[in-house]
Each structure stands twice: as structure tokens, then as C-alpha cells.
């Protein structure tokens, strides 16, 4: 009941390697027929509906709520406010590690940002709960909202985690700028963006005594289980979370959100199952966002176009009660060689919900600025932008001086440029027009994202009939985990994908680690690989110690799994079926666990990043300033490709976000109220089909022997990087205008 599995798909090959095959999504039919169960699709018997009331002010105090009127509304069962909210076992304001963010769980009457939950109304129907929440008619004592990056309360943020120090440098930037024959100095601004996954945050919660059953989207089952167990004072084993599918997460579902916890609390208080789902406008506040940045970039150039210095000082924003900051400057640590590089940060405290990881956190905002600045530097040097990037190519990771575990970026440049037709691009801006008279421009950007892995576990079982069962609590946000991980799982046992049952998506299974940092396939995949290796080793012990087995005494030469058989490594014709080994041993099944983690020695020795090159063509109406991206070609090298169909799809999705970053996405914050004025999908613009040009993603071959045994680097986030800058640079090339504030709009080009 609590385990979710996908079994065979007979269309796919039975034997041989599953890794590398462009299999279609194994849950695809379920999704397109509406039979895949997302969290909010669950309706346990007796379920109530909870609706949040959220603050309409940015800062101040709730003075009164008309609780009596809300309670009197037909169908309303409970109204939860700071006055009657039961105590929690753990302080939601506590921060016991840097990744534990404060949760708004009706602690008191303070309002710290617009959209903060101030009450929960629980009712028999969604309509009654919605009306009840409206009837609360809060009155506030309001203080002025602090908005915008010019704010007064500045702090130097602590590290968000390893690899993001508040300051980093090599060499002497000021000396490098002094020695330069040309300098580029510019300020780039990126806006606040809000995670707008198709599926909003929500939860369906049922308590049975101390046992808690949850349907809720999460990118990290085990972490959510632990945090929720802590808040409610129950043991983690008693918290059962099902999260088989997410309609997107983008980082905002990495931690359980305040509203999700309030839904669980409502179920506890009413003694009935409760569903709480955020309305779209409620996504703009309590569940994280990408903070705005203002990045001052300085580049010094030698006579021949070499960089003498590269610096990025970033100002960003955080909330008044937490320290998350957007590590936008750090992308300057990876791509380009310079004798002097420096990055530093400061942040402004604003009356806003705490910003959070949002797809390519740091790299996305940082890349659009850095790639624009690099384009400005190339122009200052009178060089072609690709030639300039090759002139300043980092052969080793710039600040650490570590060699790269692999870096096929040159090939990305070559293949991308060839496919796009970059050669022959005139250097002069505003020199190309199409037959309709539209200004035409070509720009490029370099893409990069670190190759990360986290800790994960899996369990492998071989059953008496020789079939496999592979289990890990992984997360499918739409990226294809059900498919890619099943491919790795089957290969780990040497079986066809239809001979292995793959179970995933619940907290009752081994912890697959967080689906984030583009590291989920590597983490969960390596855990499955390790579990498979371990179970095959156990099976080999059985066979090689048994005189009746053709593998008797083959322990020294070793055995390998081939198509449901264990065979001698030195002579694959000698071996026997898994099923025969088990049956002779009188075993019904044999199982083993496996774990994955980043190898600290390899980490110490190598810099690990995925890379890519993105080329963009834009057409701009010279009279109206309207921009159309007409072509995008990206070439990416990210280690081993598990499933080229899924990988291509991830990269295209990232590139579309790059279009969004350059041209569309932007939370408009009212300076007086601090509220997001476009908190809906009609006005918070993301690209639609008509905005998405001809898109192409080239998968560049890259073997990486160091990142992990499977050679996987990850592709979830890199597509955003490079793309935004490529579009901004193409606009410059088309129009002669350099716009340094994103997104770029009509008004910037008139
Ligand atoms: Mo991602 S922002 O690591 O989910």
C-alpha cells in the first residue's frame, strides 16, 4: 500500500545495457491519462479541507481576526490562530543546522512578510474553508515595508554550505585591473523570481494515534520525515510519506514548507484527515523564491585579450529572520582563467519570505551577468566572443587550481558553434537584418554547474524466479527518475528492465537523498549500483562455494552478471542462472543494501563540473523593440548520459528557463506595500509555446572516471546557465544596446 512501483515495459530491450537507451517515461501513460496520483488527488474518507489566511501587509502585527464569524459559517469545523494553536515538540524558529529554515506555524501575531500564514480555516468543503478564511477580515498594526536592494540593514551572509564562502579570491584583483590595458566595469541586476511549479505545495495528512500518513510532494523524503517527526514529537518511523510524482519542485520542495506543516497540524487538531493546497497567489511568499541580485563585475584585459582580473561583488536580499543568500558570484570561480579573481557578497534584510534554492541557485543569476560581462570584454578586446572565451579558457579550476575531473567544454564550443553556424558572425553590432527588416543578432554564453552527489541508500533483492527488486526512496519531479533510475537498477543486476521491479517514491524505502543540486541520478543511481553489486557478490559467494555449481571455486577470477546468469569473468560461457543458485541453496530471495556518497579523496583531487555552450539568435523589431528568440542551440557535456531522451528534455527545459530569465520572469514588488503585484500566472510571465524557438540540445560525449563509478554529472540545472547570457548578448549584437537589468523588455530597446 505504501510502496509505489513500476514494473515492466515490454517494448524495451530484454537484455544488454539499459543505460544509454532513450526509453520513454515509464510513468508517462499514467500521467497523460490522468491516472498518476499526485498528492492533492488523494481523498481519504472523512477528509476536511484547510485553507490558509495570509497576511496582506509586509510587516507589523495582526491586531484582530473575526474568528467568531468564520466559525459561524456553515461547514467550518475549526479556525486555527496563534491563540489556539497547540504546542509543537520543536521550536519552528530553531535553526540547528544551516539548512534548517524557520517555519511560520502561527507562533505569534507578528507579520514578517506579505503572504505569511496568519490563520488556517478547516471545513467540510473547500468552498466553506475558503469563505471562512475570507470572513476572518484581519486588522493590522502596520509598519513600513522594507523593499528593494537599497535597504539599510546590510549583513555579510554566512556560508550557505561548503563551496559558497562569503569571500573568495586568488591573486590581486586591484593590481590586475591597474595593469590592464582595457577594463570593463558594469552592474547587472536580476529580479526576484518565484518557484511556479505546475503543482503548488500541498499535503493530505491523516493521523492514526501517533502514526502519520502523508501524501505530499517533496524533493527529500527522509529529510521531510525527520523534520515533521521532530515538530510533532513522534518517531520518524511513524511518519509515512508518499511522493511518487511531483508536478515540479525547482528547489522549493526540498524542505517541508510551513503551509504543509500547518495542514498536518490541522489534521491533528480536528482528528480527521485534512487536505491543504496552496492557491497560486499563496506560492508568492511562504515557500521560497530566488532573491534579486545586483552584481558589480570588473574585468581587466591585457593587449592580446587575456584577462588580468575578474571580480564580482554581489548584493542580494534575504528575509529579516533567516540567512539564505543567492550565491550568484561564485560562477566566476569555474569558467575563465585569470591571475586574479575575487568574489564577495553582502545582503539586505527585507520584509520578504526567506529566499531559497531555486533551480540553478547562484549559477542562474550569476551566469546571465558573467556571460554578459564576458561579451562586453570580448567586444572591448575587439574579439569574437567565442575566440575570447577560448583565449581565456580555464585549463584548471581557477581559484582552487585543481584539475577538472573532465571538461569537454572545447568540444561543446566546437559542436555548438558548428551546428549553429557561428562562423561568419560579423563583429559589428546592428549589422544583420533579415528579409523582413528585423534586426538580427547572434550571441553565446558558457554554461556550467557543479557535479554534486549526496548520501543515498538502496536495497537490491534477487527473487527465487531470478527477477530483481530494486528499492530506493527517490523523487520524480518530472525529470525522469522513475525511468533513468530503473535503467541503472536493471543494469546493476545485469537484467533487462522488464525483469526488475523498481520501487520508489515513499519514505518507507531506503533514503535516496535529496533530489536537488542536479545530483539525484548520481546519488540514487550510485546507491542502486552499490546495492546491486553487493547482492551479486552475495550470490557469487553462494555459487563459488558450492561444488555443484559450474562456478565452484571461481572466486579468484571473479564472476559477473549477464542476462539473469552469473558467469565466470574469464569465460562467460560458464555460469548458471540466478534462479538455479537460489533454488539449490533453498533460498526464496537474497538481498543486500548499498550506499552512495561523494568520494572525499576524489573531491580533494579534482574540480567537478558539467559544462556547455549555448548559442542564440534573436530578432528585434527596430520600431517596437519586440524581441523574438528564433534559435537556440546548446551543446552540453555532463558525463555519462543514462537516458538521452530524458537528458535532452531536462536540458531543453533548462534552456526555456534561460529564455524566461532573459526576457520574461520577474516578480514586480510594490515599493509601498512590499507585496508581489503579479502573483498569478497571467502576469508572472513564463515562456509559453509561442515564446519558445527552435531549440536544440546536443549531448557531447564525456567520460569522467572520477565523479563516481557511473560517470554521472547531472543535468537538472545547467540548461538555465549560459542561455540567458547568450540571449542578452544576441540582443546587444542585434540592436547595439547593452541591457544589464533583467528581464529585458520592450522599453529597454526603444
Ligand atoms: Mo534544486 S534548486 O537543487 O531543487
Grid cell in block for residue 157: 551572509
Cα separation, 60 vs 52, whole angstroms? 19
pLDDT of residue 14: 38
- Residue 716 Cα: closest atom of ligand 1: 1
> What ipTM does this complex have?
0.98
Per-residue pLDDT tens digits for 648-684: 999 999 999 999 999 999 999 999 999 999 999 999 9
Residue 292 DSSP label: P
Region 243-265: mean pLDDT is: 97
- Cβ(277)–Cβ(200) below 8 Å: yes
Grid cell in block for residue 406: 573532465
Pocket of ligand 1 contains residue 718 by CB under 6 Å: no
Question: Which DSSP helix (H) or strand (E) runs through 567?
Answer: strand 565-568
- Cβ(612)–Cβ(634) below 8 Å: yes
Cα separation, 31 vs 38, whole angstroms? 9
- Residue 254 Cα: closest atom of ligand 1: 4
Pocket of ligand 1, candidates 257, 356, 516, 719: which has the most ligand atoms within 8 Å of its Cβ, to mutate? Answer: 516
pLDDT of residue 144: 97
pLDDT of residue 162: 67
Cα separation, 619 vs 630, whole angstroms? 7
Pocket of ligand 1 contains residue 249 by CB under 6 Å: yes
Phi first, then psi: give them for residue 384, nearest 5 degrees: -60, 140
Whole-angstrom CA distances from 22 to 12, 43, 355, 541, 642 are 10, 36, 36, 35, 8
pLDDT of residue 357: 95
pLDDT of residue 555: 85
**Between 363-380 and 723-735, two packed helices, what is the crossing angle to 10 degrees?**
40
Q: How confident is the model at residue 241 (pLDDT cuts 50, 70, 90)?
A: very high
Examine the pLDDT at 363 and tell me if it is beyond 50: yes
| Gap from CA of 517 to ligand 1 centroid (Å) | 5
Per-residue pLDDT tens digits for 438-460: 999 999 999 999 999 999 999 99
| Gap from CA of 249 to ligand 1 centroid (Å) | 8
What per-residue string of b and e applies to 131-152 under the rule 16 or more CB within 10 Å gives b? bbbebbebebebeebbbebeee
- Residue 219 Cα: closest atom of ligand 1: 4
Cα separation, 89 vs 238, whole angstroms? 15
Grid cell in block for residue 574: 560458464
- Residue 249 Cα: closest atom of ligand 1: 4
Return the closest-CA partner of residue 226 out of 250, 268, 182, 256.
256
Examine the pLDDT at 165 and tell me if it is beyond 90: no
Grid cell in block for residue 447: 554554461
Per-residue pLDDT tens digits for 678-737: 999 999 999 999 998 889 999 999 999 999 999 999 999 999 999 999 999 999 999 999
% of the chain at pLDDT higher than 90: 94
Return the closest-CA partner of residue 278 out of 292, 261, 294.
261
Cα separation, 107 vs 105, whole angstroms? 6
Confidence (pTM):
0.96
Examine the pLDDT at 1 and tell me if it is beyond 50: no
Pocket of ligand 1 contains residue 219 by CB under 6 Å: yes
Region 41-53: mean pLDDT is: 98
Per-residue pLDDT tens digits for 98-114: 888 999 999 999 999 99
- Cβ(743)–Cβ(657) below 8 Å: no
Pocket of ligand 1, candidates 101, 251, 289: which has the most ligand atoms within 8 Å of its Cβ, to mutate? Answer: 251
| Gap from CA of 515 to ligand 1 centroid (Å) | 7
- Residue 518 Cα: closest atom of ligand 1: 3
Pocket of ligand 1 contains residue 478 by CB under 6 Å: no
Per-residue pLDDT tens digits for 376-390: 999 999 999 999 999
Q: Is 295 helix (H, G, I), strand (E, B) or coil?
A: strand
Per-residue pLDDT tens digits for 460-483: 999 999 999 999 999 999 999 999
Pocket of ligand 1 contains residue 359 by CB under 6 Å: yes
- Residue 251 Cα: closest atom of ligand 1: 4
Q: How confident is the model at residue 405 (pLDDT cuts 50, 70, 90)?
A: very high
pLDDT of residue 503: 98
Return the closest-CA partner of residue 648 out of 480, 490, 452.
480
| Gap from CA of 359 to ligand 1 centroid (Å) | 5
Phi first, then psi: give them for residue 380, nearest 5 degrees: -60, -35
pLDDT of residue 11: 36
| Gap from CA of 362 to ligand 1 centroid (Å) | 11
| Gap from CA of 717 to ligand 1 centroid (Å) | 8
Q: Which residue's C-alpha comes closest to atom 4 of ligand 1?
A: 251
| Gap from CA of 275 to ligand 1 centroid (Å) | 26
Q: What is the C-alpha end-to-end distance of the chain, expressed in Å?
A: 60
pLDDT of residue 586: 96
Pocket of ligand 1 contains residue 711 by CB under 6 Å: no
Cα separation, 496 vs 483, whole angstroms? 13
- Average pLDDT of the chain is 95
DSSP 119-158: EEEEESSHHHHHHHHHHT--EEEE-----STT-S-EEPPP
- Residue 477 Cα: closest atom of ligand 1: 4
Cα separation, 472 vs 524, whole angstroms? 7
Q: How confident is the model at residue 5 (pLDDT cuts 50, 70, 90)?
A: low
Q: Is 346 helix (H, G, I), strand (E, B) or coil?
A: strand
- Cβ(474)–Cβ(520) below 8 Å: yes
pLDDT of residue 12: 38
Examine the pLDDT at 68 and tell me if it is beyond 70: yes
Pocket of ligand 1 contains residue 254 by CB under 6 Å: yes
Region 591-601: mean pLDDT is: 96
Pocket of ligand 1 contains residue 357 by CB under 6 Å: yes
Pocket of ligand 1 contains residue 251 by CB under 6 Å: yes
Pocket of ligand 1, candidates 357, 650, 714: which has the most ligand atoms within 8 Å of its Cβ, to mutate? Answer: 357
Q: How confident is the model at residue 157 (pLDDT cuts 50, 70, 90)?
A: confident
- Which strands form 117-123's sheet, in the order they lie side by side? 76-80, 117-123, 48-54, 274-277, 202-208, 211-215, 239-242
Would you tell me how many other CB atoms lie within 10 Å of the CB of residue 699? 18
- Residue 717 Cα: closest atom of ligand 1: 1
- Which residue segments constitute the domains of the chain, with CATH numbers given? 4-36+453-597 (3.30.365.10), 43-143+201-277 (3.90.1170.50), 293-452+603-749 (3.30.365.10)
Pocket of ligand 1 contains residue 517 by CB under 6 Å: yes
Q: List active site positions.
A: 717
Pocket of ligand 1 contains residue 516 by CB under 6 Å: yes
| Gap from CA of 270 to ligand 1 centroid (Å) | 34
- Which strands form 110-111's sheet, in the order they lie side by side? 110-111, 60-64, 139-142
pLDDT of residue 10: 36
Region 556-560: mean pLDDT is: 92
Pocket of ligand 1 contains residue 361 by CB under 6 Å: yes
| Gap from CA of 199 to ligand 1 centroid (Å) | 16
Whole-angstrom CA distances from 691 to 618, 656, 679, 702 are 11, 9, 21, 31
| Gap from CA of 582 to ligand 1 centroid (Å) | 42
Examine the pLDDT at 9 and tell me if it is beyond 70: no
Q: How confident is the model at residue 16 (pLDDT cuts 50, 70, 90)?
A: low
Pocket of ligand 1 contains residue 358 by CB under 6 Å: yes
Amino acid at each position: 500500500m505504501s510502496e509505489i512501483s513500476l514494473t515492466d515495459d515490454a517494448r524495451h530491450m530484454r537484455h544488454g545495457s539499459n543505460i544509454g537507451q532513450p526509453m520513454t517515461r515509464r510513468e508517462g501513460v499514467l500521467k497523460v491519462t490522468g491516472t498518476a496520483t499526485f498528492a492533492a488527488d488523494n481523498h481519504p474518507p472523512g477528509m476536511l479541507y484547510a485553507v490558509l489566511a495570509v497576511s496582506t501587509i509586509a510587516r507589523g502585527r495582526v491586531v484582530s481576526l473575526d474568528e467568531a464569524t468564520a466559525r459561524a459559517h456553515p461547514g467550518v469545523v475549526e479556525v486555527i490562530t496563534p491563540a489556539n494553536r497547540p504546542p509543537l515538540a520543536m521550536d519552528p524558529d530553531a535553526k540547528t543546522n544551516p539548512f534548517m529554515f524557520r517555519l511560520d506555524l502561527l507562533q505569534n501575531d507578528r507579520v514578517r512578510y506579505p503572504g505569511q500564514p496568519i490563520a488556517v480555516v478547516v471545513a467540510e468543503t473547500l468552498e466553506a474553508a475558503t469563505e471562512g478564511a475570507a470572513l476572518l477580515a484581519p486588522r493590522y498594526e502596520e509598519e513600513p515595508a522594507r523593499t528593494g536592494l537599497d535597504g539599510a540593514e546590510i549583513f555579510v551572509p554566512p556560508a550557505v554550505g561548503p563551496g559558497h564562502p562569503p569571500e573568495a579570491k586568488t591573486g590581486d584583483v586591484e593590481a590586475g585591473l591597474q595593469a590592464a590595458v582595457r577594463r570593463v566595469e558594469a552592474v547587472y541586476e536580476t529580479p526576484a523570481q518565484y518557484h511556479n511549479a505546475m503543482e503548488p505545495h500541498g499535503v493530505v495528512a491523516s493521523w492514526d494515534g501517533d502514526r502519520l500518513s502523508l501524501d505530499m510532494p517533496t524533493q527529500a523524503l527522509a529529510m521531510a520525515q525527520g523534520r515533521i517527526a521532530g515538530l510533532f514529537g513522534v518517531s520518524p518511523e511513524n511518519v509515512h510519506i508518499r511522493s511518487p510524482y511531483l508536478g515540479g519542485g525547482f528547489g522549493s520542495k526540498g524542505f517541508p514548507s510551513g503551509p504543509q506543516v500547518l495542514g498536518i497540524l490541522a489534521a491533528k487538531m480536528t482528528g480527521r484527515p485534512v487536505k491543504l493546497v496552496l492557491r497560486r497567489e499563496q506560492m508568492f511568499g511562504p515557500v521560497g523564491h530566488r532573491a534579486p541580485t545586483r552584481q558589480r563585475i570588473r574585468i581587466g584585459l591585457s593587449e592580446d585579450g587575456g584577462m588580468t582580473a575578474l571580480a564580482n561583488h554581489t548584493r542580494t536580499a534575504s528575509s529579516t529572520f533567516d540567512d539564505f543568500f543567492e550565491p550568484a558570484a561564485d560562477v566566476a570561480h569555474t569558467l575563465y582563467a585569470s591571475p586574479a579573481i575575487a568574489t564577495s557578497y553582502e545582503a539586505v534584510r527585507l520584509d520578504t519570505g526567506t529566499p531559497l534554492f531555486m533551480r540553478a541557485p547562484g549559477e542562474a543569476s550569476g551566469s546571465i551577468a558573467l556571460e554578459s560581462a564576458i561579451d562586453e570584454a570580448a567586444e572591448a578586446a575587439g574579439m569574437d566572443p567565442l575566440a575570447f572565451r577560448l583565449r581565456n579558457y580555464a585549463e584548471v579550476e581557477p581559484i582552487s587550481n585543481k584539475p577538472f575531473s573532465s571538461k569537454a567544454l572545447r568540444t561543446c564550443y566546437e559542436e555548438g558553434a558548428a551546428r549553429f553556424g557561428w562562423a561568419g558572425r560579423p563583429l559589428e553590432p546592428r549589422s544583420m537584418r533579415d528579409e523582413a527588416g528585423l534586426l538580427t543578432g547572434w550571441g553565446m554564453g558558457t554554461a556550467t554547474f557543479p557535479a554534486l552527489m549526496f548520501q543515498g541508500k538502496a536495497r537490491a533483492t534477487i527473487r527465487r524466479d531470478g527477477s530483481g527488486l530494486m528499492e530506493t526512496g527517490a523523487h520524480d519531479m518530472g525529470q525522469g527518475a522513475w525511468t533513468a533510475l530503473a535503467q541503472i537498477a536493471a543494469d546493476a543486476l545485469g537484467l533487462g528492465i522488464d525483469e526488475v521491479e523498481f520501487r520508489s517514491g515513499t519514505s518507507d524505502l531506503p533514503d535516496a537523498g535529496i533530489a536537488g543540486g542536479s545530483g539525484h541520478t548520481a546519488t540514487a543511481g550510485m546507491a542502486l549500483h552499490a546495492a546491486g553489486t553487493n547482492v551479486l557478490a552475495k550470490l557469487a559467494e553462494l555459487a563459488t562455494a558450492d561444488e555443484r555449481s559450474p562456478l565452484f571455486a571461481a572466486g579468484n577470477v571473479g564472476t559477473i552478471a549477464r542476462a539473469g546468469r552469473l558467469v565466470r569473468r574469464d569465460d562467460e560461457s560458464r555460469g548458471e542462472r540466478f534462479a538455479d543458485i537460489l533454488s539449490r541453496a533453498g533460498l526464496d530471495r537474497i538481498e543486500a543494501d548499498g550506499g552512495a556518497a561523494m568520494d572525499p579523496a576524489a573531491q580533494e583531487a579534482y574540480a567537478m563540473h558539467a559544462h556547455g555552450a549555448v548559442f542564440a539568435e534573436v530578432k528585434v523589431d527596430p520600431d517596437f523593440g519586440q524581441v523574438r528568440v528564433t534559435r537556440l542551440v546548446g551543446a552540453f557535456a555532463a558525463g555519462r548520459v543514462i537516458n538521452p531522451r530524458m537528458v535532452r528534455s531536462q536540458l531543453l527545459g533548462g534552456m526555456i528557463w534561460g529564455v524566461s530569465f532573459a526576457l520574461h520572469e520577474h516578480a514586480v514588488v510594490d515599493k509601498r506595500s512590499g507585496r508581489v503585484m503579479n502573483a498569478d500566472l497571467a502576469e508572472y510571465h513564463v515562456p509559453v509555446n509561442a515564446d519558445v524557438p527552435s531549440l536544440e540540445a546536443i549531448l557531447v560525449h564525456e567520460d569522467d572516471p572520477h565523479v563516481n563509478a557511473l560517470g554521472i554529472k547531472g543535468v537538472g540545472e545547467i540548461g538555465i546557465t549560459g542561455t540567458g547570457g547568450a540571449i542578452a548578448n544576441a540582443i546587444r549584437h542585434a540592436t547595439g544596446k547593452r541591457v544589464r537589468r533583467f528581464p529585458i523588455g520592450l522599453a529597454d530597446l526603444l
